[in-house]
């Protein structure tokens, strides 16, 4: 649209220049030969200039008309530009509002699907459910710290871990369950090493025997979180 308007303006300006040139040429001829185009017979008629002044007036009129036409086209082009700019701004605004509405809807849908957040009490309850079961007094004697291992864990390959744990749990019971943090870390570390050693031999055991041994070690490490009773 803007390019078309510019071309029309250029054309109008060219017409005005040509008309002005023609007027100047007519004035020169009139001055040279005297009189009008009709040889003193009142001119050629039909709206043509018969005097230098009339030619100049015609030229000036053409310039004014061309300028007015150019102003009209420029004004229309400006209006079209403003309309296009307004439409662009409105489209951007609509796109932005749509984007955030979609995000809001998506967030609400995910929140509804996830359900209400977990409360503090619920988190504690779930942690207890996920924790290994505690050992009974026949598996871990609270008064002496004696550990009654499953048969699979009595293998000679695990003797270094059993010896260390037997000594640490005996000390724990002797102190009434009161141990230093360094001792707690040592006991947890020994249990983890025991588990890793068990896992390295997993292919050698039946699934049921391995599961029983692994659960026992998990519960043994979990017992360290509680006082002896």
pTM above 0.95, yes or no: no
Say which residue, 167 or 87, is predicted with more confidence: 167
H helix count then E strand count, the chain: 6, 0
DSSP state of 35: S
Neighbouring C-alpha atoms within 13 Å toward the C-beta of 201: 19
What band does 169 get if pLDDT is binned at 50, 70 and 90?
very high
Say which residue, 50 or 101, is predicted with more confidence: 101
Domain ranges, residue 6: 2-114
pLDDT at 65: 73
- pLDDT tens digit sequence for 76-126: 766 676 677 677 778 877 888 888 888 888 777 776 676 676 666 655 555
Residue 123 falls inside a structural domain: no
Residue 47 falls inside a structural domain: yes
**Could you tell me if 19 and 107 lie in one domain?**
yes
- Tokens standing for 163? 């010896």
R_g of the chain, CA atoms, integer Å = 52
* Domain boundary pick from 114, 145, 174: 114
**Could you tell me if 58 and 151 lie in one domain?**
no
Averaging pLDDT over each range in 16-25, 38-47, 95-104, which range is the top one? Answer: 95-104
Task: For residues 28 and 177, give the distance between their C-alpha atoms in angstroms, rounded to a whole number.
Answer: 127
- How many domains are contained in the chain? 2
Residue 52 falls inside a structural domain: yes
């Amino acid at each position: 649209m803007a390019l078309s308007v510019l071309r029309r303006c250029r054309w109008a300006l060219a017409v005005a220049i040509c008309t002005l040139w023609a007027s100047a040429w007519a004035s020169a001829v009139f001055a040279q030969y005297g009189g009008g185009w009709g040889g003193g017979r009142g001119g050629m008629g039909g709206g043509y200039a018969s005097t230098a002044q009339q030619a100049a007036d015609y030229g000036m009129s053409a310039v004014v008309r061309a300028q007015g036409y150019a102003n009209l086209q420029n004004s229309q082009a400006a209006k079209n530009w403003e309309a296009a700019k307004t439409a662009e701004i409105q489209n951007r605004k609509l796109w932005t509002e749509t984007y955030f509405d979609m995000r809001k809807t998506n967030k609400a849908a995910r929140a509804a699907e996830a359900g209400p957040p977990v409360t503090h009490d619920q988190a504690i309850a779930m942690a207890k459910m996920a924790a290994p079961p505690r050992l009974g007094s026949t598996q871990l004697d609270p008064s002496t710290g004696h550990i009654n291992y499953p048969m699979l864990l009595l293998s000679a390959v695990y003797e270094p871990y059993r010896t260390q744990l037997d000594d640490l749990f005996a000390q724990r019971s002797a102190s009434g369950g009161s141990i230093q943090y360094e001792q707690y870390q040592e006991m947890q570390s020994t249990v983890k090493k025991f588990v890793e050693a068990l896992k390295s031999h997993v292919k050698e055991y039946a699934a049921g025997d391995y599961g029983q041994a692994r659960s026992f070690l998990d519960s043994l490490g979990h017992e360290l979180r509680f006082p002896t009773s």
